[in-house]
């Protein structure tokens, strides 16, 4: 989890889903922590996307 939050950064610019994936891949790449026991229990609750990936800012309305 600490690796995920380090990757996420203070402004959450990477997005929690990407940060979690990066942390899990880091654990998988090491023989000592490759077993799912170490990384599989963690999930992102919510959409997991940063605002930069969204077509419109959160809460924006589209006028037709």
Give Rg (Cα) of the chain: 15
CA distance 52 to 59: 14
pLDDT in tens, 2-13: 888 887 777 777
- To the nearest 10°, the Cα dihedral for 14, 43, 6, 16? 20
pLDDT confidence of residue 45: 80
The highest-confidence range among 3-7, 36-40, 57-61, by mean pLDDT, is: 36-40
pLDDT confidence of residue 1: 81
Q: How far is CA 44 from CA 6, 16, 21, 23, in A?
A: 16, 7, 10, 12
What is the residue extent of each domain of the chain?
2-53
CA distance 14 to 63: 29
Q: What is the number of other CB atoms lying within 10 angstroms of the CB of residue 19?
A: 22
- Indicate if the pLDDT at residue 64 is higher than 90: no
């Amino acid at each position: 989890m600490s690796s995920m939050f380090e990757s996420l950064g203070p402004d959450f610019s990477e997005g929690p889903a990407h940060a979690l994936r990066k942390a899990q891949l880091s654990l998988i790449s090491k023989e000592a922590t490759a077993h799912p026991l170490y990384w599989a229990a963690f999930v992102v609750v919510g959409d997991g996307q940063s605002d930069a990936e969204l077509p419109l800012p959160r809460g924006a309305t589209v006028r037709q």
